[in-house]
Every structure is written in structure tokens, then in C-alpha cells.
Amino acid sequence: TAISERDQGDSHDPLLEECKQHIVFCQNKCKGFQGRDDILQKMKVYITGKGEQPLVIHGTSGCGKTSLMAMAAQLTKTEWADNSAVIIRFLGTTPDSSLIGPLLKSLNSQIRQIYGYDKTSMETLDELKEEFQTCFDLPINDVPLVIFLDSLDQLGAIHGGRSLSWLPEQFSGNIK
């Protein structure tokens, strides 16, 4: 009964539910993945290196970018940098990953939770954007942070989500 109570309690945590949905989506995309070793190797070099700019994977629709991102996320956690915190969002697959406000709220909450910081009550879009930037200044030296955001083109255009003005152009070496 304790397990079923815990499971019922977990289902009321919106952040946990959001993370579960993206993890399941990731696992499904990894099934049967083959090839692309050259690109995965470049991603590994970036993730394990000291570069400070975001890595952008782009290509035509249907060329396998989403599966590639899923596999890279899985390899990051299991082989490349297993001491890192990995966050993945497949944008547009859930309501909270379709618009910039809920996405930032979810990312901010997950980052703060991973590193043991209190939740914030940021609600306005400007506050969420500022908090997202602040999360990258948290002391995270012992546990590097790797964030995978797939399908940025699926993010709703409202409030400048697709403009990417909310995404830092440079990170510390411990954030990818």
C-alpha cells in the first residue's frame, strides 16, 4: 500500500508528470536507433568539453534529429557524463512544453529541484525568463547540467518563444 500511495501522490506533482512524459518519449525514440555515430561523437565532444555556447542540431524535417537528441540524452546520462544532471524536453509534445511560459516554469523548477534549491513563485513571463538566467548562475560545479531542447520550431510563437531571446548565448563550462 505504501507504494500505491506514493504512486498516487506522484501523479499530483505536475513537474514529475512532465518529466515522466518526456523520459518515456525519449526511451521510445531510442528504441531501434542505429548509426549516426559521427554526429553522436561530435555531440559527445561538445558535452564533455569546455565549450560555452549552445550546440544546435539542425536539418530538414524527418531526418532524425529527435531520435538523435534522445540517444544523446541517454548516452550522456549512461556513458558520456554519468555524473551530470540531464534535462530533456521534446517541445510541443505536452502542454507545458508548447509555450514559453510553462516551459520556462518547468525547466526552472527542475533545475532548482536537482540542485536542492527552494522553489520560486515566479509567474510572469519576464520573471520566468530572468529566473531561467539565474538558474545558470547557481553553484553546480559538482554536478554539470546538460539540457536538451528538441524541436524549438514547435514552441509557440506567442511571447517570443521562437525568437530564443530567453536562451543564453553563452554558458559556463559546466552547463551544456
Predicted confidence at residue 11, as pLDDT, reads: 56
d(CA 165, CA 61): 23
pLDDT at 4 over 70: no
Predicted confidence at residue 2, as pLDDT, reads: 46
Q: pLDDT-based confidence at 63, cuts 50/70/90?
A: confident
d(CA 162, CA 170): 18
Q: Length of the chain in residues, anyone?
A: 176
What distance separates the 2 farthest-apart alpha carbons in the chain?
A: 49
pTM score, whole prediction: 0.86
65-83 average pLDDT score: 91
Q: pLDDT-based confidence at 20, cuts 50/70/90?
A: very high
pLDDT at 156 over 50: yes
138-146 average pLDDT score: 80
Q: How many CA atoms lie within 13 A of 80 on its CB side?
A: 23
Q: pLDDT-based confidence at 110, cuts 50/70/90?
A: very high
- DSSP code, position 85: E
pLDDT at 3 over 60: no
d(CA 115, CA 49): 21
**Distance of CA 175 to CAs 2, 56, 103, Å?**
37, 14, 18
How far does Cα 55 stand from its chain's mean position? 13
Alpha helical stretches, state H, the chain: 2-10, 14-30, 37-48, 65-75, 100-114, 125-135
How far does Cα 97 stand from its chain's mean position? 10
66-80 average pLDDT score: 92
Q: pLDDT-based confidence at 100, cuts 50/70/90?
A: very high
d(CA 172, CA 146): 11
Query: Counting beta carbons within 10 angstroms of the beta carbon of residue 120, is it exposed (0 to 12), middle (13 to 18) or buried (19 or more)?
Result: middle
Predicted confidence at residue 81, as pLDDT, reads: 81
Cα torsion 39, 40, 45, 51: sign: positive
And the C-alpha cell for 144?
554539470
Q: What percent of the chain has pLDDT over 90?
A: 43
Predicted confidence at residue 173, as pLDDT, reads: 74
